[in-house]
């Protein structure tokens, strides 16, 4: 068991020094300078207490002569000596103040600068490592968890500082604050200014202890004998926080993964009314983390309380033993005080190393670094960014599979390929056909080396592709997948991702080849049009044509076409198919298509069945194979009942639309593009300022109302904690007074006061446990509540909200991970710290005024300066937090987009490009961080030095008051002690500034989200809920444009009536508005003009969740969630809990990655049918299915349509020809309606579409 534990231990955290593994010479120079500055700062206080001890002796000596008659010469000397001595010490204190200012400034600035530099390297290396991982890594790791580790935290990312020398700083970080940091940000916290504070405290401790031993070795030894207890309590605190931190990281990474999956699939979630269940799923992960945080708060409070109990008990022991040494004449009162202060400050400084979150920051950094460094150090089996591997001078393009066996790493119990062998000869086209899931797409992935086979080899020109350079291999391959992925940038930039040096002219030619040019030129911004996240602003056909253009510009030797035209309308498909056939000339082409008409002209067709290549040959050869795979598929897909009298449309018009591919390829030249539109857009975005409502502290407190009892308990405990230090000041001064009394009375008083120190320690123990536990409870509940409310508010928003690129999945998940937790900067634990500080200051000032109002008034003159220092810190942090947040959100969006679309990034070999894009996105926030480091360092140093200036003035004025008999030296010390600890409290409150500044911005931004009432509110329960639904749908004079593209009118007065039980097919070119009609019916959007009606009622008057419950939708790009097949099917209806076979518990992976396209589509269809909807919406529901599967599914859909209103969108006219009504949409209006035969008879638009498809046949 012991060895097992030892083996597990390294998995939890790295060694602390390993955190600096990426430091360079400049970083080490900054570390050296920062360490020197922190050391000087640390030594300043021990030096001050040497002077303090001498001052004490001076005051005591003067007190002995104070009552004398000043006419006597012997009594004049002390008065003159007092003036001279105090003036000299005042100068010393002022000099120390200047040194503290400069050293405090430099220690913060240099340590922060090196941390900013190192963490930027870590972020870049982490992202680069993610980019170079093989696909199996992403199959086994959630993209959401990876992005959570990479996500950034606005102002806390660079500056989350603490002026840690103050006493009584009980400000425990709870789990929610902790997890607001990403893993990488936690590393930064562990190597930044907190280290300088630790060095300062350690050097202060060493210097103080040395002074203590110099002035009284015996007393110092007794006090230090108790130090093992202090070390033990600190060690326990370190171990506990490290353990809980790891659990927190895991819990919140899971929550982040849920949020990312849901927000990136928001249309599916909304369509199936999944908001409530997704909120519940997200909250479950929050509950786990909340429980851990509450436990950590209790254990942390107990540990720190024990630390204080031991410390105050040690003080009591020290005074009792010190009085014994004084009575024996071994030391003087002054020496005892100097030794006592030396050891006191030393012990206190050691406590500060483990207090003020240093332990949590360091242990948190080590736990986070283990996970981050593990990924950075991971060497993938297939490294897409490695230079290793052979790079042949020429590529012929012959591909050969030799006895290939393959199993996906995430599903090792399911073998996909069984001894597959075939040859795709150079320049020839090979088509793979077979049922969904038979291994066709797997072959495409093996050719790209997304995976390596378990047995057998895949060869290119007779060379095992495992020996080739991965990037070189993929650069010679062009891929168009059945689910085209576009990135959140312009159309031109998306096409440019195909090849680095493609020119604008080449881009235009490629779009003409893919039949995308015309629709692009109709857009207001043409090629500079933003496509939205995942291409959301484009229709399916438009996305596919852009993806084809992107593949064409690569001018590849090998073309892999996996359902490349599945999302295109008939006319576009004919044009694009012809373009692809020309593009494939002279290239090796591997083609996967379920439409056999697409593959019949291939040089070779290979029939797959259950992972085996069963037959090979040409179209004619395979048709002769009786009962063969291909023959059966052809028979099932043959067209039926088309009118033989339809005149053949001349191909002349079709050919006019095509450009000579040879002419196009001759234009390819290696020139560097000059387009800078992305940068211009970025600059414009950076200039935009987010309008936020005014900050409401009462509203923040109101959010915590259910935890009022815990907050009151915490505040009461904080107030008690705040009063402990001033009470200590009184006891300390009374002990000093006791040393001047009679011996008998002295023993009694010192024993009493020593026992009172122990009592103070016990009080501190209880108060810390209550404060930490109460605020951990209230803080965790608040953070979970705000996060849950924020997530719920996001899910409540209309779809147009998510179309805005400012609300991309990456940006939203980043805000969700950070804003809720940062609100605790002005409540919860932070509020407790503030109350503690205010109480300490209030009690201290009360004591000071009671014992010497004149001296107190002078002291208060320095308070505004202390307040100004805190305000400057807050202003610095608040002023730039918003802009810094925007910059980090941009980097977070890039990371999210890449990890979600890693296959596309890999196939395009765009790893280096995205790496550079991410690296550049970190430049702006780094510049802001550097500036903040300097400004914050200056204000920090200033806040530290003011106290020493206050000492100088107070001592000098106090001497005059004593000399004038206006105060006794005992009362001067009471006021001085109150001033010292009151100043600590003021400094402590100023350290609250950075958290409060970030909290204000986070709270106002969160409230803006919570207060945003969407135009289409899914939570609005008002509206009619008819008892029966007939299913009559009317589109009446609909005009519509998408919110993010108001200058592009999609529908221009569309009118169409769909009667109960009818199957209505919407046909037309891609982008004509077919899918828009479905989205309007689902009320994803509302029309700008006109009405959409259900059974004669405007859909805007119907209760929205009821409306959507009447519909089942199957989209052309099915979205599945990272859960089991059963759970995905049940997603269609929450009320159904049908028991399913164990095989249904197979996890489908992120976005259904473990299933083929056809398998995903069938699961999506099952999900829709489970709802038993009155209206069935089929948007290319069978486009990704093979012929056999399509027939089965089509039969099921035909049966499902019975008694239902059904709206079908399909480019495959054979799918829609049996519809009751066919509506042809052109340019946003319905131009023809009727049956298949009726529309053919009028020889209009529908006739042209059918004719085009028949020619293609």
**How far, in Å, CA of 1131 to CA of 1170, rounded?**
9
Q: What are phi and psi of 1237, to 5 degrees?
A: -65, -40
**Is 4 in contact with 94 (CB distance < 8 Å)?**
no
Nearest residue to 363 via CA among 166, 205, 194: 194
Output helix, strand, coil percentages for the chain, rounded to the nearest 5: 65, 10, 25
pLDDT at residue 465, as a whole number: 92
In Å, how far from its chain's centre is CA 547?
28
pLDDT at residue 934, as a whole number: 87
pLDDT at residue 1107, as a whole number: 92
**How far, in Å, CA of 858 to CA of 957, rounded?**
8
- Output the CATH code of domain 399-468+502-638+646-672: 3.40.50.300
10 Å Cβ neighbour count for 1109? 18
- Our separate counts of H helices and E strands in the chain read 48, 20
Q: Do 399-468+502-638+646-672 and 125-380+689-933+967-1011 have the same topology in CATH?
A: no
For residue 400, the SS3 value is: strand
Q: What are phi and psi of 594, to 5 degrees?
A: -85, -20
CATH class in words for 1033-1256: alpha beta
Contacts of 224 (CB under 8 A, 6+ apart): 209, 343, 347
Directed axis angle between helix 25-65 and helix 193-215, to 10°?
40
Residue with tokens 């008690």: 720
Contacts of 875 (CB under 8 A, 6+ apart): none
Residue with tokens 């894009």: 917
* Distance (Å) of CA 1092 to CA 349, 1024, 1089, 1096: 71, 15, 10, 9
List per-block mean pLDDT (blocks of 10 residues) for the chain, which spans 1257 residues: 40 80 92 95 88 74 51 44 77 92 93 91 89 83 60 34 27 24 74 86 89 89 78 71 74 82 88 88 85 83 84 84 84 80 76 61 83 86 87 90 90 86 90 84 91 92 92 90 84 91 90 87 88 80 86 88 73 70 80 76 88 88 83 65 34 33 30 35 39 72 85 90 83 75 76 90 92 88 87 90 82 78 70 78 85 86 73 58 60 80 86 88 83 84 84 84 80 77 57 62 84 85 87 92 83 91 88 88 91 92 91 84 86 60 76 77 84 87 69 74 85 77 90 90 85 63
Pairing mode of beta strands 1221-1226, 1063-1067: parallel
Nearest residue to 183 via CA among 373, 377, 380, 379: 373
Is the whole model's pTM more than 0.75, yes or no?
A: no
**How far, in Å, CA of 860 to CA of 882, rounded?**
35
Nearest residue to 1154 via CA among 1188, 1115, 1128: 1128
pLDDT at residue 880, as a whole number: 47
Tokens of 1159: 């398998």
- Annotated domain spans of the chain: 125-380+689-933+967-1011, 399-468+502-638+646-672, 1033-1256
**How far, in Å, CA of 992 to CA of 826, rounded?**
8
pLDDT at residue 825, as a whole number: 65
Nearest residue to 144 via CA among 1151, 1145, 1022: 1151
**Is 565 in contact with 516 (CB distance < 8 Å)?**
no
Contacts of 519 (CB under 8 A, 6+ apart): 542, 545, 1070, 1071
pLDDT at residue 95, as a whole number: 93
**How far, in Å, CA of 538 to CA of 607, rounded?**
34
pLDDT at residue 38, as a whole number: 94
**Is 594 in contact with 1186 (CB distance < 8 Å)?**
yes
Nearest residue to 85 via CA among 1079, 960, 897, 690: 960
pLDDT at residue 1192, as a whole number: 73
Classify each residue of 705-714 as buried b or exposed e, where b means 16 or more C-beta atoms within 10 Å of its C-beta.
eebeebbebb
- DSSP H helices, 328-382, are 333-354, 358-377
pLDDT at residue 1093, as a whole number: 93
CATH class in words for 125-380+689-933+967-1011: mainly alpha
**How far, in Å, CA of 1050 to CA of 758, rounded?**
78
């Amino acid at each position: 068991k012991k060895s097992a534990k030892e083996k597990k231990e390294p998995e939890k955290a790295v060694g602390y020094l390993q955190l600096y593994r990426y430091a360079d010479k400049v970083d080490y120079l900054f570390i050296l300078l920062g360490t020197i500055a922190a050391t000087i700062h640390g030594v300043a206080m021990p030096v001050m207490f040497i002077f303090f001890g001498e001052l004490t002796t001076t005051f005591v000596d003067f007190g002995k002569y104070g009552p004398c008659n000043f006419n006597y010469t012997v009594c004049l000397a002390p008065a003159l000596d007092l003036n001279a001595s105090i003036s000299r010490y005042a100068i010393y204190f002022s000099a120390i103040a200047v040194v503290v200012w400069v050293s405090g400034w430099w220690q913060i600035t240099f340590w922060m600068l090196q941390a900013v530099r190192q963490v930027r390297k870590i972020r870049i290396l982490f992202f680069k490592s993610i980019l170079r991982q093989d696909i199996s890594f992403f199959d086994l790791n959630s993209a959401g968890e990876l992005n959570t580790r990479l996500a950034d935290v606005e102002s806390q990312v660079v500056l989350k500082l603490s002026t840690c020398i103050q006493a009584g700083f009980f400000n425990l970080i709870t789990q929610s604050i902790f997890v607001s940091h990403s893993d990488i940000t936690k590393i930064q916290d562990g190597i930044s200014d907190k280290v300088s504070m630790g060095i300062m405290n350690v050097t202060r401790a060493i210097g103080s202890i040395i002074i203590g031993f110099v002035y009284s070795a015996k007393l110092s030894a007794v006090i230090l004998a108790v130090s093992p207890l202090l070390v033990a309590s600190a060690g326990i605190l370190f171990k506990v926080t490290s353990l809980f931190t790891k659990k927190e990281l895991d819990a919140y990474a899971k929550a982040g993964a849920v949020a990312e999956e849901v927000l990136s699939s928001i249309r599916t979630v909304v369509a199936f009314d999944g908001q409530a269940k997704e909120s519940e799923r997200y909250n479950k992960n929050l509950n786990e983390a909340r429980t851990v945080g509450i436990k950590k708060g209790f254990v942390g409070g107990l540990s720190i309380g024990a630390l204080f109990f031991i410390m105050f008990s040690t003080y009591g022991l020290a005074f009792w033993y010190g009085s014994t040494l004084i009575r024996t004449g071994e030391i003087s009162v002054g020496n005892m005080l100097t030794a006592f202060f030396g050891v006191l400050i030393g012990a206190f400084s050691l406590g500060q190393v483990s207090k003020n979150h240093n332990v949590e920051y360091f242990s948190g950094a080590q736990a986070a670094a283990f996970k981050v460094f593990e990924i950075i150090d991971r060497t993938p089996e297939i490294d897409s960014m490695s230079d290793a591997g052979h790079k042949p001078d020429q590529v012929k393009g012959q591909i050969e599979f030799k006895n290939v066996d393959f199993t996906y790493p995430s599903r090792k119990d399911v073998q996909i390929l069984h001894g597959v062998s075939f040859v795709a000869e150079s320049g020839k086209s090979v088509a793979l056909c077979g049922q969904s899931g038979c291994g066709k797409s797997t072959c495409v992935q093996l050719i790209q080396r997304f995976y390596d086979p378990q047995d057998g080899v895949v060869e290119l020109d007779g060379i095992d592709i495992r020996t080739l350079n991965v990037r070189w291999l993929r650069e010679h391959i062009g891929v168009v997948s059945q689910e085209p992925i576009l990135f959140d940038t312009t159309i031109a930039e998306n096409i440019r991702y195909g090849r680095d040096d493609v020119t604008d002219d080449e881009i235009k030619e490629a779009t003409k080849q893919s039949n995308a040019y015309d629709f692009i030129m109709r857009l207001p911004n043409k090629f500079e049009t933003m496509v939205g996240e995942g291409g959301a602003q484009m229709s399916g056909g438009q996305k596919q044509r852009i993806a084809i253009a992107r593949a064409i510009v690569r001018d590849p030797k090998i073309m892999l076409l996996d359902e490349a035209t599945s999302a295109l309308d008939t006319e576009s498909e004919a044009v694009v198919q012809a373009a692809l056939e020309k593009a494939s000339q002279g290239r090796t082409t591997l083609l996967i298509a379920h439409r056999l008409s697409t593959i019949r002209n291939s040089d070779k067709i290979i029939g797959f069945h259950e992972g085996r290549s069963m037959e090979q040959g040409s179209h004619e050869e395979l048709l002769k194979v009786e009962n063969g795979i291909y023959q059966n598929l052809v028979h099932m897909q043959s067209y039926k009942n088309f009118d033989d009298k339809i005149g053949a449309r001349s191909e002349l018009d079709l050919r006019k639309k095509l450009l000579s591919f040879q002419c196009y390829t001759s234009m390819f030249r290696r020139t560097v593009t000059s387009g800078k539109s992305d940068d211009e857009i970025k600059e414009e975005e950076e200039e935009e300022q987010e309008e936020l409502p005014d900050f409401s502290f009462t509203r923040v407190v109101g959010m915590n109302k259910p935890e009022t009892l815990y907050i009151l308990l915490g505040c009461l405990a904080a107030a008690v904690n705040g009063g402990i230090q001033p009470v200590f000041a009184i006891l300390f001064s009374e002990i000093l007074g006791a040393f001047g009394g009679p011996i008998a009375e002295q023993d009694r008083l010192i024993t009493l006061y020593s026992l009172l120190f122990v009592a103070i320690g016990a009080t501190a123990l209880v108060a810390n446990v209550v404060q930490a536990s109460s605020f951990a409870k209230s803080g965790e509940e608040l953070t979970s509540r705000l996060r849950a409310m924020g997530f719920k508010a996001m899910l409540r928003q209309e779809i147009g909200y998510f179309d805005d690129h400012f609300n991309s999945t990456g940006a939203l998940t980043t805000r969700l991970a950070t804003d809720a937790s940062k609100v605790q900067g002005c409540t919860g634990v932070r509020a407790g710290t503030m109350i503690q500080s205010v109480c300490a200051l209030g009690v201290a000032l009360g004591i000071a005024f009671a014992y010497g109002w004149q001296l107190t008034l002078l002291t208060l003159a320095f308070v505004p300066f202390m307040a100004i220092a805190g305000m400057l810190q807050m202003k610095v942090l608040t002023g730039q937090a918003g802009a810094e947040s925007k910059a980090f959100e941009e980097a977070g969006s890039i990371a999210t987009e890449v990890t979600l679309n890693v296959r596309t990034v890999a196939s395009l070999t765009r790893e280096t490009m995205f790496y550079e894009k991410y690296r550049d996105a970190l430049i702006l926030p780094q510049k802001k961080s550097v500036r903040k480091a300097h400004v914050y360092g200056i204000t920090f140093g200033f806040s530290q030095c003011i106290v020493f200036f206050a000492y100088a003035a107070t001592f000098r004025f106090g001497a005059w008051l004593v000399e004038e008999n206006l105060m006794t030296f005992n009362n001067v010390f009471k006021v001085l002690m109150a001033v010292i600890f009151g100043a600590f409290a003021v400094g402590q409150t100023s350290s609250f500034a950075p958290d409060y500044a970030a909290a204000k911005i986070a709270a106002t931004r969160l409230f803006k989200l919570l207060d945003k009432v969407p135009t289409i509110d899914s939570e609005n329960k008002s509206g009619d809920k008819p008892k029966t639904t007939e299913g009559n749908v009317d589109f009446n004079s609909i005009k519509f444009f998408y919110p993010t593209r108001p200058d592009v009118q999609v529908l221009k007065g569309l009118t169409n009536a769909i009667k109960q039980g009818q199957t209505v097919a919407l046909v037309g070119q891609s982008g004509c508005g077919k899918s828009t009609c479905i989205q309007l019916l689902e009320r994803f959007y509302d029309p700008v003009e006109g009405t959409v009606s259900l059974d004669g009622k405007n859909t805007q008057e119907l209760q929205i969740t009821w409306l959507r419950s009447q519909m089942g939708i199957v989209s052309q790009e099915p979205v599945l969630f990272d859960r089991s097949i059963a759970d995905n099917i049940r997603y269609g209806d929450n009320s159904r809990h049908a028991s399913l076979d164990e095989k249904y518990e197979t996890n489908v992976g992120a976005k259904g990655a473990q299933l083929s396209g056809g398998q995903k589509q069938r699961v999506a269809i099952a999900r829709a049918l489970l709802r038993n909807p009155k209206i069935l919406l089929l948007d290319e529901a069978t486009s990704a299915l093979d012929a056999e599967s399509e027939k089965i599914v089509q039969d099921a859909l035909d049966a499902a349509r019975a008694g239902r209103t059904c709206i079908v969108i399909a480019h495959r006219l054979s799918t829609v020809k049996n519809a009751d009504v066919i509506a042809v949409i052109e340019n946003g209006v319905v131009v023809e309606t009727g049956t298949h035969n009726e529309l053919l008879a009028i020889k209009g638009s529908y006739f042209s579409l059918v004719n085009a498809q028949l020619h293609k046949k």
